[in-house]
């Protein structure tokens, strides 16, 4: 908890967040690096990449003119921006056009005469990515998506919505009330409804990944333990993913201490262990994708990491949810095109974690690997993956609550019909938002998994009895980005 407390201090000292492109994110990387340098003999590597259109400077502006009345709308109350929105600086009011039928079909846009207008479309039926792709295809000047008002949390503008990869149009997310006002105005030509959008965005340069390797162990047989070090722009990001960041750091610090303290007689692993902290996961797995792309290059070295040397990837993302389950990564849902060899190895790691939870008389829940975190680029490249988590914005069912209470005791199964983390991607994701008991259990599970596979003779054959995929698949960066953001359905 000490390290989590330090991440909270970092966020508090840097405008309340640790998102990429901020001082809070850079301070997070500095903290990880200093802890590794001061307390271990691990070999530290840094790599840097650029994220396009990812930093918004100043406060986005939105102005409307309806029946000649000009109104300035309030950022965060009336609207927010989509991540990867392009810049906009409208010099005059642009015609507002309402898109019918939720804007998920070509015909919705084809018949709306949207070229050179700002299109407004209701949330629902398809992803925000699909809506933005259609908007761009039909040459809009800007895009508004508005909330649907179907639940108490569906009235305010959504924070953290994401447009499609390499978008070239500005995009805002509107509250339900403002959206309905604009739709009604756009539906009546006599109102002469128009809007002005102003948003200044720039690329985030020098976004960092950190990896730290044990100095011993076969470098051509590497086990990677990864977690993302960034948070969203709203909130301190302590559960998501300060909890994974710190778990990874504590695992690294303790393993390094064991390996370099002669009096402990702790035997060296036969495999290199690599601990990594990825940047820009929240914007589409960009740090881990970049690392895998670099590892697949012909110019990659054994020291920097070659894809063929990676046997296994563990991922730790959200480990301290306040209303937790114990989610074990499972191959029930795998990204399309994943090599079968990697699926088999993933199942073996799933079984390993399940066995540990059974031995500890703890419940567990299947957690798919369909696209939500940094295991995806490794898995789709043919590398077996595994990990545990404690849940994000999903809802704990009464059956799951009862299952957990049966093993952990009445009152310890959590709250049914409530999110695993009600502060997911929100300002309240602070140090007070973590469950220390659940956190301790999953970190122990992670430590057990490293020890087990690190001591296992013939790990490669155990994971890949039919051999590994002959040629690692080239990553489809756009596909992986869109896969990660498919949670933005609605």
Q: Active-site positions?
A: 281
444's enclosing H/E stretch is helix 436-455
Residue where the block lists tokens 């036969």: 270
Q: What is the DSSP letter of 16?
A: T
From CA 125, how far away is CA 137, in angstroms rounded? 19
Q: Which two tokens stand for residue 40?
A: 């271990």
Euclidean distance between CA atoms 394 and 35, whole angstroms: 34
Looking only at the bridges linking them, the beta strands covering 218-228 and 310-316 are parallel
Cβ atoms of 342 and 379 within 8 Å: the answer is yes
DSSP for 34-61, written as a single string: HHHHHH--PEEEEEEEEEEEEEEEEEEE
Place of tokens 């000009």: 70
Q: Give, to the nearest 10 degrees, the angle between helix 436-455 and helix 340-359.
A: 120
Enter the tokens of residue 157.
């503008």
The whole-angstrom separation of Cα 481 and Cα 129 is: 10
Pairwise CA distance, residues 398 & 407, whole Å: 15
Positive or negative, the CA dihedral 175, 177, 178, 183 is positive
Instruction: Please compute, for residue 311, the number of CA atoms within 13 A of its CA located in the half-sphere on the CB side.
Output: 27
Strands (E), 2-141: 43-66, 69-72, 79-81, 88-89, 94-98, 118-122
Q: Name beta bridge partners: 202.
A: 55
């Amino acid at each position: 908890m000490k390290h989590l407390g330090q991440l909270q201090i970092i966020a508090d000292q840097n405008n309340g967040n640790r998102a990429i492109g901020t001082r809070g994110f850079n301070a997070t990387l500095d903290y990880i690096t200093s802890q590794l340098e001061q307390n271990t003999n691990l070999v530290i590597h840094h790599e840097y990449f650029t994220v396009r259109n990812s930093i918004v400077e100043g406060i986005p502006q939105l102005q409307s003119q309806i029946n000649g009345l000009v109104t300035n709308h309030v950022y965060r109350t009336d609207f927010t921006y989509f991540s990867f929105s392009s810049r906009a600086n409208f010099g005059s009011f642009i015609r507002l056009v309402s898109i019918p039928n939720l804007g998920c079909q070509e015909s919705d846009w084809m018949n709306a005469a949207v070229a050179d207008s700002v299109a407004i479309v209701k949330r629902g039926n398809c992803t925000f990515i699909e809506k933005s792709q259609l908007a761009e295809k039909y040459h809009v000047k800007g895009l508004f998506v508005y909330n649907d008002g179907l639940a108490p949390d569906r009235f305010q503008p959504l924070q953290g919505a994401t447009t499609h990869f390499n978008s070239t149009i500005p995009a805002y997310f509107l509250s339900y009330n403002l959206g309905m006002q604009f739709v009604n105005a756009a539906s009546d030509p006599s109102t002469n409804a128009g809007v002005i959008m102003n948003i200044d965005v720039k690329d985030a340069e020098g976004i960092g990944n950190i990896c730290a390797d044990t100095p011993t162990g076969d470098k051509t047989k590497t086990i990677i333990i990864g977690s993302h070090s960034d948070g969203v722009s709203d909130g301190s990001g302590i559960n998501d993913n300060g909890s994974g960041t710190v778990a990874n750091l504590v695992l690294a610090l303790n393993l390094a201490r064991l390996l370099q303290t002669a009096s402990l007689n702790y035997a060296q692993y036969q495999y290199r262990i690599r601990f990594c902290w990825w940047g820009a996961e929240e914007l589409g797995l960009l740090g881990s994708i970049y690392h895998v792309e670099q590892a697949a290059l012909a110019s990659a070295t054994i020291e920097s990491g070659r894809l063929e040397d990676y046997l296994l990837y563990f991922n730790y993302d959200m480990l301290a949810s306040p209303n937790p389950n114990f989610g074990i990564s499972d191959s029930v849902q795998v990204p399309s095109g994943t090599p079968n060899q990697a699926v088999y190895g993933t199942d073996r790691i799933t079984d390993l974690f399940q066995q540990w939870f059974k031995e500890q008389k703890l419940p567990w829940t299947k957690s798919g690997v369909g696209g939500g975190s940094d295991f995806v680029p490794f898995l789709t490249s043919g590398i077996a993956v595994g990990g545990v988590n404690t849940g994000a914005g999903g809802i704990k069912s009464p059956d799951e609550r009862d299952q957990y209470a049966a093993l952990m005791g009445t009152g310890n199964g959590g709250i049914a019909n409530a999110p695993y983390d009600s502060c997911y991607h929100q300002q309240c994701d602070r140090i007070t938002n973590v469950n220390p008991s659940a956190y301790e259990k999953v970190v122990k599970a992670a430590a057990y998994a490293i020890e087990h596979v690190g001591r296992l003779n013939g790990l490669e054959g155990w994971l890949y009895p039919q051999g590994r995929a002959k040629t690692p698949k080239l990553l489809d960066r756009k596909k992986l980005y869109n896969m990660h953001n498919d949670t933005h359905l609605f």
